[in-house]
Amino acid sequence: MTTPYHAPFIFPVQNNGLVVGGMPLTRLADRVGSTPFYAYDRRLITDRVAQLRAALPPDIHLHYAIKANPMPAVVQHMAGLVDGFDVASGGELKIVLDTTMPPGKISIAGPGKSEHELRQAAAAGIVVNIESEREMEILARVGAELGIRPKAAVRVNPDFELKSSGMKMGGGPKQFGVDAERVPELLMRMKALPVEFYGFHIFSGSQNLRAESIMEAQRKTFDLARRLAQDAPGPVRLLNLGGGFGIPYFPGEQPLDLPAVGAHLTSLMPDARRDFPQAEFVIELGRYFVGEAGIYVSRVVDRKVSRGHTFLVTDGGLHHHLAASGNFGQVIRKNYPVLVGNRVTPPAGVESATVVGPLCTPLDVLADKMDLGHAQVGDLIVVLQSGAYGLSASPQAFLGHPAPVEVLL
């Protein structure tokens, strides 16, 4: 049997239909009440956290970077599973402050934090990852105005890269963090300011499937932190090692070898505990927690044949799922794993079809020339691996179509 999609079957299949959150997809669509929609399976998220806990050393704490999926219900669910949150804006901060997560376990990162955001963060008592001298000065001033000492960690732009990452976020010239070589000077200035030095945040990249690259970056991260700690105004209480664990999206990609990463990190921990006796060690992940637990579902509204090629026109598209259209950081467009959710392994065989959305632009493609079940109007098209960087990373206002529903099952 050729499976019409290339990701492992993480969702069960019964009677040719996908089962999501314990319910056949067609019934789920009725339960949701409209298409398109995003559905996230909380059991898969819970399982993923458990896999990480089993593989990583026990004193590695797990933080969820909520920009991967900021749906409030998902964030509430995560609050009971992870050790902390990382947010990237005042808007995301509001979402996590509605959970039971203690403020000391929340951090904010991102370039260009406004005075307004820094004041909110200081007042909330969360850790601010400082990304420039300017941010540090403003944080100290708003703290003094509020009569508190804000918790300040330094986000470092490392002097190395996370090799083979989908997105590099450190090494070379970057808008993120303070260049490693300039950190000693910044720490010197920090000594004179009314802020509480908390530690370092060293994030080098994202969407990495190569265990060796992650292992190398983690080793270099500890070494860099050791060097920087010599100039620190106080003990390192928080050492955020970044993350970057990727998930497979495209044909031929293999899942990350998590046990290898865990074993290597375990070997680094004795020295790390000795050198940073007061530190909490954090790995911060987004997509690895939630990416595989989510699907995007749209309905076929038209079936057209143009010069011998079949187009399935759906009610969903790039305005809800920019990443699946290939326009969110892909250099060469590749298909996400897509299938006809109610004809997964069709008895009548597969056909090559292109799945498009209703937008009047050739960019609005969800699957290009893929082998799919022979779909009819009314069938459900599923994009897998859609739990991260889906709706919130898409231009919903483009062309003025209705917003999709999001459900957590």
Ligand X SMILES: *Cc1c(COP(=O)(O)O)cnc(C)c1O
Q: What residues contact 238, with CB distance under 8 A and at least 6 apart?
A: 107, 127, 153, 198, 199, 200, 201, 279, 280, 282
Q: What type of residue sits at position 365? A: V
Q: Which is nearer to ligand X, 53 or 401 (CB)?
A: 53
Using CB under 6 A as the criterion, what x/- string covers residues 337-376 for binding ligand X?
Answer: ----------------------------------------
CB burial of residue 50 (10 Å; 0-12, 13-18, 19+): exposed
Residue (of 152, 161, 177, 404) closest to 294 by Cα position: 404
Nearer to ligand X among residue 114 and residue 352 (C-beta): 114
Least spacing, CB of residue 241 vs ligand X, in Å: 11
Identify which of residues 261 and 344 has a Cβ nearer to ligand X in the complex.
Answer: 261
Closest by CA to 185, choosing from 132, 129, 238, is 132
Stretch that binds ligand X, among 61-69, 211-219, 253-261, 374-382 (CB under 6 A): 61-69
Asked if 206 interacts with ligand X (CB under 6 A), we say: yes
Site string for ligand X, 17-56 (x = CB under 6 A): ----------------------------------------
**67 belongs to the binding site for ligand X (CB under 6 A):** yes
Q: Record the tokens describing residue 87, joined without a space.
A: 């947010």
For ligand X, the nearest residue by Cβ is 286
Which residues, 282 to 311, sit near ligand X by CB under 6 A?
284-288
- At 184, is the secondary structure helix, strand, or coil? helix
Residues 116-155 that bind ligand X (CB under 6 A): none
Joined together, the tokens standing for residue 100 give 């039971």
Which residue's CB is nearer to ligand X, number 34 or number 114?
A: 114
109 interacts with ligand X by CB under 6 A: yes
Residue with smaller CB distance to ligand X, 5 or 389: 389
Nearer to ligand X, 29 or 65 (CB): 65
**Could you give the CA distance from residue 381 to residue 409 in angstroms, rounded to a whole number?**
19
Shortest distance in whole angstroms from residue 285 CB to ligand X: 4
Alpha carbon distance 247, 256 (integer Å): 7
Q: From CA 146, how far away is CA 142, in angstroms rounded?
A: 6
**Which stretches does DSSP call E strand in 158-249?**
167-168, 178-179, 196-201, 205-206, 238-243
Shorter beta-carbon distance to ligand X: residue 88 or 383: 88
For residues 278 and 280, give the distance between their C-alpha atoms in angstroms, rounded to a whole number. Answer: 7
Q: Does 84 bind ligand X (CB under 6 A)?
A: no
Helix (H) or strand (E) holding 268: helix 258-275
Residue 171 in the binding site for ligand X (CB under 6 A): no
Decide whether 169 or 313 has the Cβ nearer to ligand X: 169
Candidates 65, 272, 366, 380; binder of ligand X (CB under 6 A) is 65
Closest CA to 215 of 65, 97, 55: 55
- The site map against ligand X for 265-284 (x = CB under 6 A) is -------------------x
Among 120, 207, 354, 385, binds ligand X (CB under 6 A): 207
Question: Cα Rg for the chain, rounded, in angstroms?
Answer: 23
Total interface residues for ligand X by CB under 6 A: 16
**Choice from 200, 203, 249, 336 touching ligand X (CB under 6 A):** 203
The answer to whether 357 and 288 are in contact (CB under 8 A) is no
Residues of the shown chain interacting with ligand X in the complex, contacts defined by CB under 6 A: 65, 67-68, 86, 88, 109, 203, 206-207, 243, 284-288, 388
